[in-house]
């Protein structure tokens, strides 16, 4: 989704395999539709794809919450007019099988996608996770939230989030055991490493294709579009402005006419590259070289119309292909990327709210058939981490440790296995306590007295064991002394009872 092959173009300036745990405390704008489309592509048996989407969404949210991240989900609104055709094809591919009676108008306005979205929003409300509805594309609002400093980054697979103005994007989320990783794309790195800004990316999107015009310019891919943008930059031209002026550019029209005329076969000297031949210049000189006889190989380039046209051959070739589309350069697409704006974002609430446990458990039992006690284990781990990392603390979800059971390892890190008091609002867990693992350093920071007492107790126990072992253990010297004494007694003939 997004601009065709743009992530490949930007791959060299991206950070790869960055653990999400390193973002603890950050606020992320999450493009909900990108996640739902990803989940919907998972092949399932028995037509349970909808339930699988809900399940995957839940566990991904809980995992990122346990990493100490604050999530602000963005739900897509009305489909932009420029995206209607693309939307119809995408909905048929991803969700049309669930609604075989859907009409094209329904697919274009996301009605076949609404069942996924509304159910997901119900889950978010039950968890207390905030969400916003965009006036248009979800990634557009994500970009604005990031650009305005409301969130630290966007999490989406749509590369056109950069064209909407996002500055920092996390993509390619993946779980590896208990950990998760993403790739990071920062516009600051794109601008410094590739010399591409937001307008340059829009210009490339017009040529190679994007969600609003999938075809782009015929037979133009990432390499040609990148070369053309670099050529414009070398001439101190703004790529987007240059493309927008292709139809009216008289200089390009003149150069195109020259390349199309018979004059394109006009002879040029192989030595100085000016009009004429080596023999003609040897006898009559060369005016551009300012010589009466012969010519100079180190002279200035030829400035005839044909040579000027050849210098712009890449641009002229792409222009000729692009202008076969009567709508090029698609000003409506440019306007969509540059002018999208939602108002009243200053008052956006990004903090988690207290979850409704009874509503949440009922919801999950309905959609993913999971028992309340099992679900509480996952919820407690996530909300405990939010409490320990001081992201959120709710009176209804205030975890109090009873005792430290033992030292252990959790995700290969030194940890404690701890007994926690059961929440008053938990009517599903049979046991009177929870048993959860917490990193040793993290627990010591939040509960220093209990951690210190436990470590002191462990030290006293260890010292006692050492003393007992020392009393019971015979030293080497004692062994040989006793053996020598017994041997001397035996030799003297004394019988020892």
Domain extents in the chain:
6-203, 371-446
- Which pLDDT value is given to residue 92? 57
- Which pLDDT value is given to residue 101? 44
184 beta partners: 15, 170
Residue 64 has pLDDT above 70, yes or no: yes
- Which pLDDT value is given to residue 410? 85
Rank 56-65, 244-253, 483-492 by mean pLDDT and report only the highest.
56-65
Mean pLDDT value of segment 178-193: 93
pLDDT band with cut points at 50, 70 and 90 for residue 463: confident
Mean pLDDT value of segment 69-85: 82
Residue 325 has pLDDT above 80, yes or no: yes
Rank 177-181, 314-318, 418-422 by mean pLDDT and report only the highest.
418-422
* Per-residue pLDDT tens over the stretch 308-321: 666 678 888 898 89
Mean pLDDT value of segment 370-378: 84
212: left (phi over 0), alpha (psi -120 to 50) or beta: alpha
- Which pLDDT value is given to residue 393? 66
Mean pLDDT value of segment 271-277: 73
> Selecting from 3.40.50.970, 1.10.3210.10, 3.30.70.270, 3.40.50.1010, what CATH number does the domain 6-203 have?
3.40.50.1010
- Which pLDDT value is given to residue 167? 95
Mean pLDDT value of segment 383-399: 80
- Which pLDDT value is given to residue 493? 60
Residue 71 has pLDDT above 80, yes or no: yes
Mean pLDDT value of segment 464-470: 77
Residue 400 has pLDDT above 60, yes or no: yes
Mean pLDDT value of segment 198-212: 92
- Which pLDDT value is given to residue 31? 94
pLDDT band with cut points at 50, 70 and 90 for residue 132: very high
Mean pLDDT value of segment 482-492: 72
Query: What are the contacts of 35-38 at 24+ separation with CB within 8 A?
Result: 35/60, 36/113, 36/116, 36/117, 36/120, 37/1, 37/94, 38/157
* Per-residue pLDDT tens over the stretch 223-258: 999 999 999 999 899 999 999 999 988 888 887 777
Mean pLDDT value of segment 361-383: 85
Residue 397 has pLDDT above 80, yes or no: no
Instruction: Decide which of 312 and 434 is more confident.
Output: 434
Mean pLDDT value of segment 34-56: 76
- Which pLDDT value is given to residue 492? 67
Instruction: Decide which of 470 and 139 is more confident.
Output: 139
Mean pLDDT value of segment 5-15: 93
* Per-residue pLDDT tens over the stretch 94-128: 554 444 444 444 444 555 567 788 889 999 999 99
Q: What percent of the chain has pLDDT over 90?
A: 39
Residue 212 has pLDDT above 80, yes or no: yes
Instruction: Decide which of 194 and 473 is more confident.
Output: 194
Q: What's the mean per-residue pLDDT of the chain?
A: 83
Query: Among 325-329, 366-370, 490-494, which stretch is predicted with the lowest mean pLDDT?
Result: 490-494
């Amino acid at each position: 989704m997004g601009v065709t092959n743009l992530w490949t173009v930007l791959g060299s300036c991206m950070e790869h395999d960055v653990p999400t745990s390193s973002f603890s405390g950050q606020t992320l704008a999450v493009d909900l539709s990108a996640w739902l489309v990803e989940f919907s592509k998972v092949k399932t048996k028995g037509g349970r794809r909808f339930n699988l989407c809900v399940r995957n969404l839940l566990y991904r949210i809980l995992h990122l919450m346990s990493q100490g991240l604050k999530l602000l989900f963005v739900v897509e609104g009305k489909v932009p007019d420029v995206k209607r055709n693309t939307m119809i094809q995408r909905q048929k591919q991803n969700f049309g099988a669930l609604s075989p009676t859907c009409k094209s108008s329904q697919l274009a306005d996301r009605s076949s996608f609404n069942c996924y979205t509304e159910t997901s929003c119900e889950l978010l409300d039950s968890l207390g996770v905030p969400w916003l509805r965009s006036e248009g594309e979800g990634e557009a609002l994500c970009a604005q939230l990031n650009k305005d400093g409301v969130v630290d980054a966007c999490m989406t697979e749509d590369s056109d989030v950069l064209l909407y103005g996002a500055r920092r994007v996390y993509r390619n989320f993946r779980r590896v055991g208990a950990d998760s990783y993403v790739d990071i794309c920062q516009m600051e790195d794109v601008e410094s490493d590739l010399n591409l800004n937001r307008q340059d990316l829009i210009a490339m999107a017009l040529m190679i294709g994007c969600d609003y015009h999938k075809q782009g310019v015929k037979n133009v891919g990432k390499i040609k579009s990148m070369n053309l943008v670099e050529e414009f930059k070398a001439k101190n031209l703004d790529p987007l402005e240059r493309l927008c002026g292709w139809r009216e550019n008289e200089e390009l029209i003149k150069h195109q006419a020259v390349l199309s005329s018979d004059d394109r076969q006009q002879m040029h000297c192989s030595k100085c590259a000016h009009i004429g031949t080596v023999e003609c210049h040897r006898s009559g000189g060369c005016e551009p070289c300012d010589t009466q006889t012969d010519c100079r190989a180190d002279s200035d380039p030829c400035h005839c119309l044909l040579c000027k046209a050849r210098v712009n051959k890449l641009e002229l070739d792409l222009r000729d292909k692009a202008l076969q589309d009567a709508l090029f350069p698609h000003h409506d697409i440019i306007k969509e990327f540059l002018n999208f704006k939602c108002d009243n974002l200053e008052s956006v609430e990004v903090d988690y709210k207290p979850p409704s446990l009874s509503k949440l458990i009922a919801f999950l039992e309905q959609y993913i058939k999971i028992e309340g006690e099992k679900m509480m284990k996952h919820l407690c781990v996530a909300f405990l981490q939010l409490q320990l990392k001081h992201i959120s603390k709710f009176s209804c979800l205030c975890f109090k440790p009873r005792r430290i059971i033992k030292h252990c390892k959790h995700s290969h890190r030194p940890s404690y296995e701890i007994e926690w008091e059961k929440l008053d609002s938990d009517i599903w867990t049979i046991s009177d306590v929870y048993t959860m693992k917490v990193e040793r350093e993290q627990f010591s920071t939040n509960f220093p007295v209990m951690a210190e007492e436990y470590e002191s107790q462990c030290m006293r126990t260890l010292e006692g064991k050492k003393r007992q072992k020392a009393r019971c253990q015979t030293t080497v010297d004692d062994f040989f002394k006793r053996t020598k004494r017994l041997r001397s007694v035996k030799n003297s003939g004394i019988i020892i009872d």
